[in-house]
Each structure stands twice: as structure tokens, then as C-alpha cells.
Structure 1
Amino acid sequence: MTTVKWSAVVAAVLGLAITGGAAQAQTKLKWAHVYEPNEPFHTQSVWAAGELAKRTNGRYTIDVYPSSQLGKETDINQGLSLGSVDMIISGSSFAARSYPPIGVTYYPYVFRDANHLLAYTKSDVFKELAKGYTDKTGHQILAVTYYGARHTSSNKPIKTCADMKGLKIRVPDVPAYLAMPRACGANTAPIAFAEVYLALQNGTVEAQENPLTTIEAKKFYEVQKHIALTGHIVDHLNTVVSANLWKKLSDEDKKIFSEVAQEAAARATAEIHSKEKELVGFFKDKGLTVSEVDKEDFKQNVLKNVTFESFGYRKADYDKIQAIKSEPAL
């Protein structure tokens, strides 16, 4: 073969190698969640995707899919194992379907406030529960974002647990969310989230429970007269990476993914906490009554009526979380 022909073959082989190398060097990932594009969970995920591309020199590029575009919360959690998603933001109540003990953070009044939640995420008990989830699924929890304290809106004033007796309230069909209303004698209805506004408007239910930010975003304040600051669950979301992706990451990239996820979670947490403070005044301006409640009364009724074991939780984990001391961080 002539020198010219050999040169052509070598050039072709090198070209294929370079092209193949570039294709291998850039990995495209899917990050999914169920929240709206204007919510901090999405805007900070988009920020994190940009940071990950930048800090890995473009080796990883990420498309973020909001608003259940890749499925509802159950679907995207299953998608981690099926390979349809690489990263998700989702609550521990869904992680608990694979590893029940991690759901103890949804037991009513396990957290005093947002600062207590943040202290928990740095504790040994969090590390133990997260490891238990990873050991069971292979998926890795990188960060925890404060979602907001869940409060109760209704068409009657609520000050004590007894005030909820017989109340028709919409609650997500998740055992931990049902615990407080049922312990107080309320009648719970698992209406789809998209139908809650109409159900409140036409009187199918008289009440619902959600963080203040959700009450504002979904305009529930238009069809409710009162907000009781029950704060029964200090809600939070996990940023989770699939087992398949985590195994492929180098130690250096694992560090980058963890740091960026935690920075994004901190940014979203600060944003949500700040918005919560403003919203009490906003609702009062809209003509709603916003009231403090006797939280200890609610807490004791839950402890009396709802066992940890019925959810697959461990009381020892609850006790450890209760003992965590927290400093004002927000």
C-alpha cells in the first residue's frame, strides 16, 4: 500500500478515535422532579446543572425536567432503578417505600422547625438512615432541601387538636401525612393535588394542609378563610443520584456532584424560608385569619394515637432526632 493510502487510513482511524473519545467524554443526564418551573426547586436545579457542566469541564451535561414531565413522583423514583432518569428531587416519604426507616422524618412534630431539620441533615442519625437507603437501593442522597412547614388552611378556626374533629380535610394519600389529621379525629380525603382548589371551592372538603408557599402558589387562600400554623411536618426534599450513575462517577466527580447539590439545596432553602416569613402578612392582607396553635396538644395526640411501628419507623431514630440541638442558621 502506498504511503499516501496508509496516511489516509491512519487519519481515518484517528478521526474515529477522536470522535468516539469526544462522545464518551460528554455524558448527558436527565434530572427530574414534579415542581413548577418558577419554584426554587426547579430554578436551583437548573443552576446546579450549569455548575456541574462547568465544574466537570463539560464532561456532564444535564437537562432538568420539571412539572412531572418524566412522570409523577412514584414514577421518577422507580426511574432511578429503571434507568429513565439519573437524578431526582423527591421527598423521604417516597424513599421510605424502599427503606421505611428513613420516613421517620415525616412523623408529625419530629422537627421543631427548619433549623432543627438542617441540624439533622448534618447528624449521625441522618448518615445512618441515608446509608440504609443506599444499601437497599444503591441510590445516593446528595443533599436535603427545606420544603416548608406544613400548615392547615380551613373554613373554620383551629386552635387545638379537638377543633379538627369531624373536619373534612384533603390530605395526600401517604400514611405519615394522614397521621396528624386522623389523630385529631378529622375525616381525610385523598383528592388529587390538581383538584384541590375546586374541591375547596365547592365544599367537597373544608380544609387542606400544605406549606405556606404552596397555599400561595395554588391560590388556596382564595377559597379558605383561616390558616392555622400547625407546623405538623417540617417538609423536605432529597436530591438523589441513581445507583447506575453513582457507580460510574470518579471520586473527584462524586465530590463535585455532592458539593453542587448541597450548594443548590442551601440556596433553595434560604429562598423558601425567606418567602415563608413574608407570606403570613400576605395572607392577612388578603383577609384570612392566621393563627398560632397549641403544638404540644397536637403532638401529644399524635404520640398517643399513632405508633411508629405502624409506619415501619423506629422510635429510637425519632428519639435521636428529638435530642439534636439546633442553632439558628436561617
Structure 2
Amino acid sequence: MSTQQRRRVLLAILTVPLVLASACGGGGGESGGGGGDGGTVELTLAHSYTEQQPQHRCGAQVIADEVAAANVGLTIQVFPASQLGGDADRIQSVISGDIDMDIQGASALGAVHEPMSVVDAAYAFDDGEHLARFFASDASKELTDGFAEATGVTVLGAWSAGARHFTANQPIRTPEDLANLRMRFPNSPQFLMNAAALGANATEVAYEELYLALQQGIVDGQENPIVNIASQNLGEVQDYLSLSGHQENSNLILVGPRWNELSPPQQEALSKAVEKAVAQVPGCVEEDEARLLEEWRSSGEFQIVEDVDVAAFRAKVEPYLRANLSPEQLAVYEAIRGSAA
């Protein structure tokens, strides 16, 4: 069964209880009326991470649990591991209302609103706290309002799931070390711009095919946050992990048109649930990263390269971005840098 077919089947199944609840309500009004007629509104929440990763454990699952505990006639059904499609497919499904909520990286969102992609620009943020602070402040309002106007999708919050780092079969300490390596980057305009800015020779490989591509030597290295590197077992096919921290791995929590159908108490409960998840995910990521780095140091699965010349990478990246971002994108970049501590 294809991804599209599986998604249609899952959504059809989820629709049945909503239809039955509406039929039994006897004139209870709109579907988002807060459950006052005894019915419950159920939202679908999709993402691409495994159930073991902090984006699910401390993010999506916390949102679902907190909403259920609020007892406002609202529940959330979580579909992890790209069960409802890949990132590009899911954002279109959120816009159309086929999926109610999603957790997405900013680069994928750039396909439907280009300025959003800048959130994933190399070294745009100083760290994860900077990213969280930006989205919690008025500095992000023009960006998120523009995204909502263009797509009908509301950004409820954002977190960083850790910084992205390089792996390869040789250490990467300076931009010059990337010169002769074929480095896998995700296939999105912002990631490919980042590769050029960093001095990397980008090769596009699907995330699901990354392990095999490294094993077979199709690519020499790649970049990902530590929790993703672990989930893909890349230590089996790569020798060095170079802590470049060249990009914060963004996750935005989105809700589509169903947001406008929810009652004020339901909207408040969902917003508070997202706030709690946004507060918890970075700590969970930090704990996972510390544990994994210690395990890799002890086992020798990775040689950890800590003396990366981050200043040299930053000095190379910023002028490239300023010269190649569109005026609208550059305004977002300026707002992000202006919110740095």
C-alpha cells in the first residue's frame, strides 16, 4: 500500500467516530463547539520521528497527554515515523485539512512560504535557546503571521531538536576539510544554500536511504543532529563526528484549518500543551545528546572531534547568506540575528 493510500485509510478510520459523535449529538452545533453536546473533537498530529526520539517522547506525546488532561472535549491522535507521509506531503495535507496538526522543520515549510526557510539557515541562531526566544517574541510575529496568511496554517510554537553536526570518515575542523568530500544534505533550497555557504559539495540523498548511501560510498559524509545520527545507526558506517553545530534543527508545531473550529477553551488547552512541550523538548534532547556522546566516547563508535573552528565556518557563512538570500528572506535573517542575546 502506498503512503497516499495508507493516509487515506487512516484518515477514513479517524473520521468514523467524529461522524458518529455528530450524529448522536442531536443538533449540537459546530464540530468544534467544545464538546458541549457530549461529543469529543479528535485531531490528528503527524511527524517523522521515531517514538524513541525526544521530538515524540517529550514533544508530540506531551501535547496529546496535556490536552487529554485538560478535559475540554479535545483529544489528539499521534502518528509518528512518517505514517501519514513525508514532510513535503504532510504540509500540503495540513493546508488542505486532511491532517490537523504537524511537527515540521522550517525548510519543508519554505516550499509553501519561502521566508520560513531562513529559520534553517546555517548559524542563523546562536543556540537552541535563541531559537525558542525568537519564536516566543514579537520578533517572529511578521514571519508567523505571513505564513498563516499564505497557507491558513497557524504556528503554535517551535523548539530546536539539537544542533546539526558533520560525520565522515575523516575529521572536519575547517571549511577546507569539506573541499573533497561528497556530503549528503537534504533536498531543499535552504539546506543546499547552507552547503554552499559552508563550502560543502552537496549530494542529495533521501533520509531513508542515508545509511546505505554511506555504506556503499555513494556519499562520504553527512550532517544531522545527534539524536538523528543515533536513530540511523550512522556510527556503524562513519568514523568521525565533528561538532560543528552549524544549524539548529528546527521543529515547528503547526495546526491547520481545524484551529478555527475549536472553542476558546480548546484553543487555550492546545496552546498550553504546546507551551509545555516547547519547554520540555530541549532538556530531553540535551539529556539524550549527553548520554549518546558518552556512549560513543566509551565504545569508540565515533571519534568525537570537538576542536572544530566554528569561527571560521561562521565567517564563511554569513557573507554568503547575505549575498544570496532574497530581500524578503534577508529581512527574516536580520530579525533572527537581531534577537540574539
TM-score, structure 1 normalization? 0.86
Once the two structures are overlaid, the 10-residue window that deviates more, 259-268 or 172-181, is 172-181
Once the two structures are overlaid, the 10-residue window that deviates more, 135-144 or 34-43, is 34-43
Is it true that 1:30 corresponds to 2:44 in the alignment?
Answer: yes
The 1-side partners of 2:328 and 2:176 are apart by 26
Structure 1 residues 266-281: aligned runs within 5 Å: 266-281=279-294
Contact 1:140 1:240 (8 Å CA) reproduced: yes
Structure 1 residues 1-330: aligned runs within 5 Å: 21=28, 25-43=39-57, 44-57=59-72, 59-242=73-256, 244-287=257-300, 288-291=302-305, 292-307=307-322, 309-310=324-325, 313-326=328-341
**Could you say what secondary structure the match of 1:189 adopts?**
strand
Contact 1:184 1:301 (8 Å CA) reproduced: yes
Contact 1:180 1:298 (8 Å CA) reproduced: no
The 1-side partners of 2:111 and 2:326 are apart by 10
- Please tell me the residue identity of whatever aligns with 2:249: D
Contact 1:176 1:311 (8 Å CA) reproduced: no
* Count, aligned residues: 309
The 2-side partners of 1:263 and 1:158 are apart by 37
Once the two structures are overlaid, the 10-residue window that deviates more, 91-100 or 166-175, is 91-100
The 1-side partners of 2:328 and 2:308 are apart by 27
Task: Calculate percent identity across the aligned residue pairs.
Answer: 32
TM-superposed CA distance for 1:290, in Å, is 1.5
Q: Aligned Cα RMSD in Å?
A: 2.1
TM-superposed CA distance for 1:271, in Å, is 0.2
Once the two structures are overlaid, the 10-residue window that deviates more, 42-51 or 116-125, is 42-51
- Please tell me the residue identity of whatever aligns with 1:145: W
Segments of 5+ residues of structure 2 without an aligned counterpart are 1-22, 29-34
TM-superposed CA distance for 1:269, in Å, is 2.1
**Could you say what secondary structure the match of 1:121 adopts?**
helix
**Could you say what secondary structure the match of 1:48 adopts?**
helix
TM-superposed CA distance for 1:184, in Å, is 4.2
Change (3 A) 1:321 1:186: closer
Contact 2:168 2:239 (8 Å CA) reproduced: yes
The 1-side partners of 2:282 and 2:60 are apart by 12
Contact 2:140 2:335 (8 Å CA) reproduced: no
TM-superposed CA distance for 1:102, in Å, is 2.0
**Could you say what secondary structure the match of 1:108 adopts?**
coil
Segments of 5+ residues of structure 1 without an aligned counterpart are 1-15
**Could you say what secondary structure the match of 1:110 adopts?**
coil
TM-superposed CA distance for 1:308, in Å, is 5.9
The 2-side partners of 1:20 and 1:28 are apart by 19
The 2-side partners of 1:128 and 1:48 are apart by 25
